[in-house]
Amino acid sequence: MKMRVNLEKDSYDIVIEKGILDHALSSISSLFEGERIVIISDDNVYPLYGEKLKKQLSEKYTVGEIVIPHGEPSKQFDHLPELYSKLLAYHMTRTDLIIALGGGVVGDLAGFVAATFLRGIKFIQIPTSLLAQVDSSVGGKVAVDVPEGKNLVGAFKHPLLVLIDPLTLKTLDPHFIKDGMGEVIKYGCIKDEAFFERMANYENFDALYEDIDEIIYRCVDIKRDVVEKDLFDFGDRLCLNFGHTIGHAIEQHYHYEKYSHGEAVAIGMVAITRIAEEQGLTKKGTADRIVEVLRHYDLPLKADVNTKELLEAISHDKKNINKSFSFVLLKDIGDYFIHKDENTFILTSEVV
Ligand SMILES: NC(=O)c1ccc[n+]([C@@H]2O[C@H](COP(=O)([O-])OP(=O)(O)OC[C@H]3O[C@@H](n4cnc5c(N)ncnc54)[C@H](O)[C@@H]3O)[C@@H](O)[C@H]2O)c1
Ligand SMILES: O=C(O)C(=O)C[C@@H](O)[C@H](O)[C@H](O)COP(=O)(O)O
Ligand SMILES: [Zn+2]
């Protein structure tokens, strides 16, 4: 399956195909005529897929690698100088290419490096986690974390190409399959009720995996459509942040140790929908419907923290502009709207 993201001079293809990683060279060489490639990956993914990829690409290019420790702490701003130094040690120039091979952490970090190194060099995404395949590899948001919060320093940097090989999900820890389902369910919540309902009906991962190409395609197609209309995130794109206002704050509150991103988003979607329901902004019963689907994937539904404790982190949310906080709420499943709130009035002292 193939889809084009139409962004004028920044347009690119997304290819979803089991086994595509084994023919990455032909896809990449048709787009990239430079000399050097550096693969940025993590210490879980590189041993599984990196060497094979490097061998293929070495037929045509000079290839190096930078392998970072896995996990969110590697996305800290502080780690950037080391990455730039390594690229300089490889003598990377402005016509060379970075490939992000890994989950969303690798994609966001490598993308930010590609956006800033030498004022920007070419970049390809090869996402290997479910979350990265359905969400983070598409749309061009790249970022790093700072002590005040998640993704607070970033850029829009579009890849030349996104190569999605669902076969890589076979080695992904089941925890991260469930985690990725947090974002998959988000797409249903904001844009597609039938898709949302379908997600509640898979018996196990094998059944889900049977349909995985189609599930990835549907998520990415929703994201493509939204991003094409509102690339810079001031309008329709905000919907992709459903569950993230509270989700990001929870991740940070627990120092990125207790909840992974999809889990925190799951908690955030339930919390904000319960609050909105109590205030008559969302159709009654919506939060329970979300809970039912999330429970199906053993995703957490609550964190033992009060919304007031999250306010500092929430105050840095990028959706807040012109003295107004913005929350993505649902009228109903599949139907979102943006609620502007000057005083975070919506955040009663509810336990999230
Ligand atoms: N840019 C965006 O639009 C966007 C969207 C959603 C999430 N994100 C970001 O993505 C990050 C989360 O991404 P993630 O959930 O992929 O986390 P991650 O990158 O930490 O990957 C999860 C774990 O799975 C391992 N892994 C990845 N692929 C594997 C494979 N095929 N086999 C074995 N192990 C594998 C990784 O090493 C890691 O331990 C967060 O930082 C989040 O903010 C960004
Ligand atoms: O692409 C988007 O837009 C999203 O909001 C997708 C989110 O799933 C993702 O977690 C994103 O990184 C959050 O963006 P941020 O602007 O809140 O940092
Ligand atoms: Zn997200």
Residue range 277-287, pLDDT digits in tens: 999 999 999 99
Helix, strand, coil fractions of the chain, as percent rounded to 5: 50, 20, 30
Ligand 1 atom 16 nearest Cα: 103
The answer, yes or no, to whether residue 112 has pLDDT greater than 70, is yes
For the chain, the farthest-separated pair of C-alpha atoms sits apart, in whole angstroms, at 61
Phi-psi region of 305 (alpha: psi -120 to 50; beta: other; left: phi over 0): beta
* Residue 244 Cβ contacting ligand 2 at under 6 Å: yes
Tokens of 99: 């490939």
Q: At which residue do the structure tokens 């690339």 appear?
A: 231
pLDDT given at position 306: 83
From the list 128, 68, 71, 121, the residue with the least C-alpha distance to 97 is 121
The percent of residues above 70 in pLDDT, for the chain, comes to 98
> What does the alpha-carbon distance between residue 24 and residue 196 come to, in Å, rounded to a whole number?
32
From the list 182, 171, 159, 342, the residue with the least C-alpha distance to 260 is 182
CA gyration radius, the chain: 20
pLDDT given at position 70: 98
> What does the alpha-carbon distance between residue 233 and residue 2 come to, in Å, rounded to a whole number?
25
Q: Which ligand is nearest to the CA of 136?
A: 1
Architecture label for domain 174-341:
Up-down Bundle (1.20)
The answer to whether 41 touches 53, Cβ cutoff 8 Å, is no
pLDDT band at 315 (very low <50, low <70, confident <90, very high): confident
Least reliable range by pLDDT among 97-101, 153-157, 314-318: 314-318
Q: Please state the rounded mean pLDDT for residues 270-298.
A: 96
pLDDT given at position 334: 98
Q: Please state the rounded mean pLDDT for residues 101-127.
A: 98
pLDDT given at position 348: 66
Ligand 1 pocket by Cβ (under 6 Å): 42, 44-45, 48, 70-72, 75, 102-106, 108, 128-129, 131-132, 135-136, 139, 141, 151, 168, 171-172, 176, 179, 260-261
Q: Does 168 show up as a binding residue in the annotation?
A: yes
Pocket test for ligand 2, best of 146, 236, 244, 261 (most atoms within 8 A of CB): 244
- Rounded (10°) angle between helices 80-89 and 104-116: 70
The answer, yes or no, to whether residue 257 has pLDDT greater than 90, is yes
Q: What is the dihedral of CA 88, 154, 304, 335, to 10 degrees?
A: -140
* Residue 233 Cβ contacting ligand 2 at under 6 Å: yes
Tokens of 24: 């990455």
CA of 137 relative to ligand 3 center, distance in Å: 11
pLDDT given at position 113: 98
CA of 108 relative to ligand 1 center, distance in Å: 9
The answer, yes or no, to whether residue 304 has pLDDT greater than 90, is no
Q: Does 351 show up as a binding residue in the annotation?
A: no
Q: What is the CA 95 to chain-centroid distance, rounded?
A: 27
2-171: in CATH 3.40.50.1970: yes
pLDDT band at 205 (very low <50, low <70, confident <90, very high): confident
* Residue 141 Cβ contacting ligand 2 at under 6 Å: yes
Q: Does 286 show up as a binding residue in the annotation?
A: no
CA of 278 relative to ligand 1 center, distance in Å: 34
Work out the end-to-end distance of the chain between its first and last CA atoms, rounded to an integer number of angstroms: 39
Q: Please state the rounded mean pLDDT for residues 157-184.
A: 98
Q: Does 101 show up as a binding residue in the annotation?
A: no
- Please state the domain extents for the chain: 2-171, 174-341
Ligand 2 atom 14 nearest Cα: 241
The answer, yes or no, to whether residue 89 has pLDDT greater than 90, is yes
pLDDT given at position 322: 79
- Rounded to the nearest integer, the mean pLDDT of the chain is 95
pLDDT given at position 29: 97
pLDDT tens, residue by residue, 18-27: 999 999 999 9
> What does the alpha-carbon distance between residue 94 and residue 116 come to, in Å, rounded to a whole number?
11
Q: Does 95 show up as a binding residue in the annotation?
A: no
For residue 138, give the ligand 2 atom closest to its CA.
1
Q: Does 9 show up as a binding residue in the annotation?
A: no
pLDDT band at 345 (very low <50, low <70, confident <90, very high): low
Q: Please state the rounded mean pLDDT for residues 38-42.
A: 98
46-51 contacts, C-beta under 8 A, 24 or more apart: 46/101, 46/102, 48/168, 48/171, 49/21, 49/101, 49/128, 49/168, 50/101
> What does the alpha-carbon distance between residue 20 and residue 30 come to, in Å, rounded to a whole number?
15
* Residue 252 Cβ contacting ligand 2 at under 6 Å: no
How many C-beta atoms lie closer than 10 Å to residue 260's C-beta?
A: 24
pLDDT band at 307 (very low <50, low <70, confident <90, very high): confident
**Eight-state DSSP code of residue 69:** P
* Residue 237 Cβ contacting ligand 2 at under 6 Å: yes
> What does the alpha-carbon distance between residue 233 and residue 231 come to, in Å, rounded to a whole number?
6
The percent of residues above 90 in pLDDT, for the chain, comes to 88
Element (H, E) at 331: strand 325-332
Q: Please state the rounded mean pLDDT for residues 241-248.
A: 96
Least reliable range by pLDDT among 6-10, 144-148, 202-206, 221-225: 202-206
Q: Does 175 show up as a binding residue in the annotation?
A: no
pLDDT band at 349 (very low <50, low <70, confident <90, very high): low
The answer, yes or no, to whether residue 350 has pLDDT greater than 70, is no
pTM exceeding 0.95: yes
Q: What is the dihedral of CA 315, 81, 113, 319, to 10 degrees?
A: 0
pLDDT given at position 341: 82
Does ipTM come in above 0.90? Answer: yes
